[in-house]
Amino acid sequence: MAVSAAEGIDIRPLNLAAMVREASITALVVFALAIGLVGFETLDVPGGVAIRTRFADVAVVMALAFVGRIALILLREHRPRPVLIVAPILTAIMLVLLLSETIFGSESGAALKRFMPFHDPVVLWGVVAVTVILAVRAAYAQTHVSSSLTLEERDARMDRIGAGVQRAARLLGPLLLGAAIVLPFMPFADRRVLDIGVLVLMYVMLGWGLNIVVGLAGLLDLGYVAFYAVGAYSFALLATQFDVSFWVALPFAGLMAGTAGVLLGFPVLRLRGDYLAIVTLGFGEMIRVILLNWYSFTGGPDGVSGIPRPSFFGLAEFSRSVPDGTAFHEMFGLEYASIHRIIFLFYLILAMALVVNVFTMRIRKLPIGRAWEALREDETACRSLGINPRNTKLTAFGIGAMFAGFAGSFFATRQGFISPESFTFIESAVILAIVVLGGFGSQIGVVIAAVVLIGLPEFFRDLQQYRMLAFGMAMVLIMLWRPAGLLAHREPTLRLFGRDKKPETNS
Amino acid sequence: MLEVSGVHTFYGNIEALRGVSVSVEKGQIVSLIGANGAGKTTLLMTICGNPRATRGSIRFEGQDITGQQTYEIVRKGIAQSPEGRRIFPRMSVMENLQMGGVTTDVAHFDKDVEKVFELFPILRNRRSQRGGTLSGGEQQMLAIGRALMSRPRLLLLDEPSLGLAPLVVKQIFDVIQNINRDGVTVLLVEQNAYHALRLAHHAYVMANGRIVLEGAGRELLANEEVRKAYLEGG
C-alpha cells in the first residue's frame, strides 16, 4: 500500500474493477463527443463536399481520456505516487516528440514525428499541459497533507483573496494607469499592440458604462449595444451630412444615446430581472433592425462610410499634408508617422474611459449612487424610504446609455465606417460578460475581464479557431471558481468620522 | 394625526381589509394586535399606498393620501420599519442609515446618526459591518434606526419583536417608548400582545380584516376576552 504523507486520512483499498469501470465510462462519453466532432472532417473537393474519417484520432483521444481518468482517481484516493512517476515520463516523451526536429535534425526528427498522436501542435501542447498539471498535482499531494476544503471554506478563502485584491487594487489601479500612459512609448508598442490597446480600452469603457446599469442599479440590460449604435450613428450622420467635427458631435451623440436610454427605459423599467433582460434584448435588436432597414437615413446594410477622423482638438489634422490647415507633425515639428494618429486615439479612449470611471466612483458616494445600490438590494424597502424607484432607475439607464453613446462615437471615428453588423447581440453579450466576470460593480474587475476576454484573444489571433476555445475555457473556469465574478467583494463607500476602525467582533 | 376611515383593501379577489377605521392622535403610541392573517400588516401597507385602498380614505395631518405613491407618502413625514426588517444586507450599517436619510437634508445627517446611536449604542460598534452580518435583534434596531433617519412625525412599526429573544424584545420596546417621548407618534403592529398593550396609549384588536375591539392599552390588557385570546396562550 502506498504510504502517503498524510496521516489520519482514510486510505481505502483500491477497487480495480470500479476504477476501470469509471475510466471506461469516461472514455465512452469522450467517444460519444469525439466521434462526431473529431471522427469526421468535411473537405471541400471540386464538385462538392467529401468526408474524411479520423477514427485513429478518436481512439487516441479515448485512450488519453482513459489514462487521465485513472490518474484523477488515483489522486482522489490519495495514491499520488504512480501518477508522479507516469505523468513526467509522458510529458518528457511528448516534449521529445514535439521538439524532435530541433533536437535530432530534420531527418530523424521527421521520422519520429510519425509517432505523434495528433498533427496539430496546439493540441499536442494541450496534452503536454494536462500531463504537467497532473504531475504537479501529484507532487503536491505527495508532499502535503491533503485537505479537502468544503465549498464554503473555499468560497471564504476566495472572498478573502478578492478582498485582498480589492485592497491591492488601490495600488493596482494607478499601476495599470501608469502602464497605459507609458505604453505608446515602449519599444514593443507597434501598431498592432496599440490597436489591441485601443480595442481593450473601448470595451473597458463600455464595461464601466454597463456596470452603472447592471452592477450598481442591478438592472440586467441585454440590449446595451443599442445605445452604442445610437451614439455611433449620431456622430457618423452628423459628421457626414452636416460636416460637424468630432469634438462638437461627441456631446450630442452622448445626449442622443442618453435620450434613447430614457425613452426605452420608460416603458420597460417596471419589469424586473429576467423579464427586463428579455425586453431590453428585444429593444436592442429593434434598434439594429431599424438601422438596417431605414435605407434613406442610415444607408441600411451599406452603412455609413467616410466618417472623418478626429482632429487634434480641432487644432491640427493627422495626415501627411493638409491643404488648408495644420498637420499634427508640422505643429510639433516631428517627422510624419501614421502611428501618431493611433497614439492619439489610444490616449483619447483612455481619457474617455477614465471619465466614466471617475464619474462612477464619485456618484457611488452620492445619494443617487447609493440609491442605485439600495435599489439593487431591495426595491420594496427603497420605496418605503421615500425613493422614487422609476426615476432612480431611469437615471441609471440614461447615464449608462450616454456613456455607451460616447464610446459609440469614438468607435465610428476610429473605424471610419460603420454598419449595423457591428452592433449585433453578441456585442451586448460580450460587454455583459466583461461586467459579470469582473464581478458586478467592481471597477478594476472590469479592466481585468476586458483584458482577459478581449485582449488575450486578439493577441493570440495566431491560434485561429482555438482562440474561441480559450474564450470559452476562461468563462467556464471563472464560473467554476468564482461564480460571483473575479472581484466580487464590495467595500463600503461610506467611512464616517474619519476614524473608522475595523469592525469589533465583540461588544 | 392619522385618520383611517372605512378602508377596504383587496389582494386580487380576497378582501383583506373590510372597512377598517383607525385613528392615531399626535404624540401617542397606538398598538394594533391580532392573530396571523387578521390584516394588521395589510393595514400598515395600505397606509403606505401599497396595496392601495379600494374604498375608504386615509388622511395624514388633514391631507388625503389615499391614492398616492409610496415614495410620496413617506416623504410627508411617515416612516416605516417594514415587516421582516428589509435592511440592505450587502451595505454597511452606516450606508443603511444613510439610505434612511435620503429624503432629508444632508446637513442633519451627522446629528441624526448620533441620535440613532444613542438609542441603539450597539449599532455604533457595528457601523462599518455589513447589514447582513448583524444578529436578528441588531437588524431590527437598524431597521428602526433607518426609519428614524428620515425625521418622521409618524413611525409605523411592523412586528419589531418578531423572532427575537425576550431580553432583546424588552430592550426594543423600551426604545420605542423613548422614541415616543421624543415626540414621534408611533403606530405599532404586534403579535406580542402583552408588550404592545403595556405601552400603548390606545389599542385596537383586529380579526378577519375588521377592528373587533378598541380601548386604552391598560384597559385592553385587563379585558377578559383579550386575555383569553392573546395573552394566556392556548
What is the full DSSP assignment across B31-45?
EEEE-TTSSHHHHHH
Backbone φ and ψ of A47, nearest 5°: 90, 10
Please give the Cα distance from B42 to B59 (Å, whole number). 17
The chain A residue lying nearest B144, using CA atoms, is: A385
The chain A residue lying nearest B92, using CA atoms, is: A492
Of A387, A490, A503, the CB nearest to B90: A490
Instruction: Using the structure block, give the residue that is written with the C-alpha cell 454597463.
Output: A210
Of A386, A493, A494, the CB nearest to B103: A386
Please give the Cα distance from A3 to B159 (Å, whole number). 61
Sheet of strand B29-34, all strands in order from the earlier edge strand to the far edge: B78-81, B154-158, B185-190, B29-34, B202-207, B210-216
A interface mutation test: which of B44, B74, B81, B88 has the most A CBs within 10 A? Answer: B88
**CB pair distance less than 8 Å for A385 and B91:** no
B-facing residues of A in 389-408 (CB < 8 A) are: 389
The chain A residue lying nearest B71, using CA atoms, is: A386
Of A371, A383, A503, the CB nearest to B70: A383
Q: pLDDT band at B10, cuts 50/70/90?
A: very high
Within 8 A of A383 by CB-CB distance, chain B residues are: 50, 70-71, 74
Q: Greatest CA separation found in chain A?
A: 87
| Contact in structure between A310 and A352 (CB atoms under 8 Å) | no
pLDDT of residue A113: 66
B interface mutation test: which of A270, A370, A379, A384 has the most B CBs within 10 A? Answer: A384
DSSP A183: G
Using a 10 angstrom Cβ sphere, with 0-12 exposed, 13-18 middle and 19 or more buried, the burial of residue A438 is buried
Of B70, B94, B102, the CB nearest to A371: B102
**CB pair distance less than 8 Å for A374 and B87:** no
- Please report, as a single letter, which amino acid is at residue A390: R
Closest CA to A352 of A261, A301, A439, A414: A414
**CB pair distance less than 8 Å for A374 and B88:** yes
* 3-state DSSP percent of chain A in helix, strand and coil, to 5: 70, 5, 25
Within 8 A of B97 by CB-CB distance, chain A residues are: none
> Is B168 an interface residue toward A (CB < 8 Å)?
no
pLDDT, tens only, B105-125: 888 889 999 999 999 999 999
**CB pair distance less than 8 Å for B122 and A507:** yes
Within 8 A of A500 by CB-CB distance, chain B residues are: 127-128
Closest CA to A397 of A236, A284, A297, A479: A284
pLDDT at B18 over 80: yes
**CB pair distance less than 8 Å for B99 and A371:** yes
Sign of the alpha-carbon dihedral angle for A211, A214, A215, A216:
positive
Q: Which three cell numbers stand for residue A16?
A: 480495480
Q: In angstroms, what CA-CA distances link B232 with A127, B32, B229?
A: 75, 18, 7
| Alpha carbon of B70: minimum distance to chain A alpha carbons (Å) | 6
> Is A492 an interface residue toward B (CB < 8 Å)?
yes
pLDDT at B39 over 80: yes
**CB pair distance less than 8 Å for A386 and B150:** yes
Please give the Cα distance from A55 to A39 (Å, whole number). 5
Closest CA to A73 of A26, A109, A4: A26
Q: pLDDT band at B234, cuts 50/70/90?
A: very low
pLDDT of residue A497: 42
- Per-residue pLDDT of chain A in tens (507 residues, 90 and over written 9): 444 444 445 567 778 888 889 999 999 998 898 888 778 877 788 877 888 888 888 888 888 889 888 888 888 887 888 888 888 888 888 888 777 766 666 666 666 666 666 666 667 777 888 888 888 888 887 776 555 556 566 667 766 776 776 677 677 888 888 888 888 888 887 888 899 899 999 999 999 999 999 888 888 888 999 999 999 999 999 999 998 888 889 999 999 999 999 998 888 888 877 888 889 999 889 999 999 999 988 888 898 998 888 878 777 777 777 777 777 777 777 777 778 888 899 999 999 999 999 999 999 888 888 899 898 888 888 888 888 888 999 999 999 999 999 999 999 999 999 999 999 888 888 898 888 888 776 788 889 888 888 877 776 666 656 666 666 777 777 777 766 666 655 655 554 443 344 443 333
> Is A163 an interface residue toward B (CB < 8 Å)?
no
pLDDT at B233 over 90: no
Of B75, B82, B87, the CB nearest to A386: B75
pLDDT of residue A459: 67
pLDDT of residue B147: 94
Of B79, B99, B110, the CB nearest to A370: B99
> Is B75 an interface residue toward A (CB < 8 Å)?
yes
Of A377, A387, A502, the CB nearest to B89: A377
A interface mutation test: which of B45, B76, B78, B92 has the most A CBs within 10 A? Answer: B92
pLDDT of residue A5: 44
| Contact in structure between A402 and A255 (CB atoms under 8 Å) | yes
DSSP bridge pairs for B190: B33
The chain A residue lying nearest B150, using CA atoms, is: A385
Q: What angle do CA A462, A465, A470 make, to 5 degrees?
A: 90
The chain A residue lying nearest B156, using CA atoms, is: A384
Please give the Cα distance from A99 to A92 (Å, whole number). 10
**CB pair distance less than 8 Å for B74 and A386:** yes
The chain B residue lying nearest A380, using CA atoms, is: B86
pLDDT of residue A87: 85
Long-range CB contacts for residues A244-249, cutoff 8 Å, separation at least 24: A245/A308, A245/A311, A245/A314, A246/A308, A246/A310, A246/A311, A246/A409, A246/A413, A247/A310, A247/A311, A247/A313, A247/A314, A249/A409
Q: In angstroms, what CA-CA distances link A164 with A155, A167, A287, A481, B131?
A: 14, 5, 42, 17, 21
Please give the Cα distance from A298 to A295 (Å, whole number). 5
> Is A493 an interface residue toward B (CB < 8 Å)?
yes
| Alpha carbon of A387: minimum distance to chain B alpha carbons (Å) | 6
Within 8 A of A374 by CB-CB distance, chain B residues are: 88, 91, 99
**Contacts (Cβ under 8 Å, ≥6 apart) of B106:** A367
pLDDT, tens only, B166-178: 999 999 999 999 9
Q: What is the pTM of this model?
A: 0.75
